[in-house]
């Protein structure tokens, strides 16, 4: 796990620092999405709030993680599975939020279906979030 994080950071040509390794490991270990608060909790008080924010932004810019839209206003991030090149993600998969455990899970194998838009509308990107009960909670 440790070496995996390291390898990813190297591949993306980012400086190797404690915070980046630890935070990336957290994402590798978790099968769901994380938000800033989760990371603060799980790293204890190791890193400054600001460092966590900046690390998340950096990872998002570099395509290591992607944002998930929610109706509560909390910024949720999840690991990008495949090689999303910085900025433009190819993560057109559905996200699932469990009503019980409230975990957010990437359904990497479920592709977002395309829809027919009204005249004059040109699609560019789509997001889809399904809520319900997840496999673990059933």
Partner DNA sequence: GTAAATTTGCAACAACGATGCAAGTTTATA
Partner DNA sequence: TATAAACTTGCATCGTTGTTGCAAATTTAC
Footprint on this chain of its own copies (rule: CB under 8 A): 67-71, 73-75, 94, 96, 99, 107, 109-110, 112-113, 115-136, 138
Asked if residue 40 lies in contact with residue 27, where contact means CB atoms within 8 angstroms, the answer is: no
Nearest residue (CB) to its own copies, 5 versus 55: 55
* Nearest CA-CA partner of 97 in 73, 69, 75, 125: 69
Binding-residue pattern over the window 46 to 85 for DNA, x denoting contact by CB under 7 A: xxxxxx-xxx-x---------------xxx----------
Please choose which of its own copies, DNA, none residue 88 contacts, taking the beta carbon within 5 to 8 angstroms, the exact cut-off set by kind: none
Minimum CB separation of residue 112 from its own copies in Å reads 8
Please give the full DSSP string across 10-45, using - where no structure is assigned: HHTT----HHHHHHHHHHHH-SB-EEHHHHHHHTTT
């Amino acid at each position: 796990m440790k070496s995996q994080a390291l390898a990813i950071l190297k591949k993306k040509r980012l400086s190797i620092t404690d915070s980046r390794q630890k935070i990336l490991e957290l994402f590798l270990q978790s099968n769901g999405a994380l938000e800033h608060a989760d990371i603060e909790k799980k790293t204890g008080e190791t890193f400054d709030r600001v460092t966590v924010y900046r690390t998340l932004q950096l990872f998002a810019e570099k395509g290591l993680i992607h944002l998930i839209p929610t109706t509560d206003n909390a910024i949720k991030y999840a690991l990008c599975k495949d090689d999303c090149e910085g900025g433009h993600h190819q993560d057109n998969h559905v996200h699932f939020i469990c009503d019980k455990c409230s975990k957010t899970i990437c359904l990497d194998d479920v592709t977002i279906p395309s829809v027919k838009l009204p005249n004059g509308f040109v699609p560019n990107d789509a997001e889809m979030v399904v809520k319900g009960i997840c496999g673990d909670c059933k």
